[in-house]
Amino acid sequence: MSKYIILYRHGMAVDKATAASDDLRSLSIRGRRLLNKSIAGFKIMLGKHKYVKIYSSPKLRAAQTAEMLSSELNLSPPQYYDFLATGGNIRLLREILEEIEPGSVAVIVGHQPFLSVWSQELSGFYLPFKKGTAACYKFPNEITEKKAELRWYLQTRDFIKIKGKEHIKR
């Protein structure tokens, strides 16, 4: 049975000039609203996996995104890792994958440009991650140096459009 990782960029944040530091930038009102509207579509794309765990950067906007996802999807609280804020080595992401059970999904909430770099290292595809964008990768049960299969790549507006559509092909 396969394992999955979803790279998810945080929602829209307040302007840099309004926050004391980049680490303390919160989601904007619009960012919260769009994220809230997109979660139903994201849930459809998650499918019926028996175990979903959220991992997040500790930066406020990512933490708020991860907390909204975990709350709306009725999941356990996110786990926070500093390397998700600073762009750590791909080996650290692979360690998360090794920890999860087959059939499980690890949702990684983070930042640019790290998500694009990790996407390329995982699958060979350098994808632009706009705010609220997510990409799902499928790994065989045994995590090797083999490239992951890119299953889907969607932006906030795409998640909002699929809201309520139960027949999405995965």
Confidence bin at 163 (pLDDT 50/70/90): low
User: What percentage of the chain reaches a pLDDT higher than 90?
Assistant: 75
pLDDT at 154: 97
β-bridge mates for residue 139, sequence order: 3
State pLDDT tens for residues 24-57: 999 999 999 999 999 999 999 998 877 999 999 9
pTM of the entire predicted model: 0.92
CATH class, range 3-162: alpha beta
User: Which residues make Cβ contacts (< 8 Å) with residue 65, sequence separation at least 6?
Assistant: 8, 10, 11, 27, 35, 56, 109
User: Which residues make Cβ contacts (< 8 Å) with residue 143, sequence separation at least 6?
Assistant: 3, 94, 97, 98
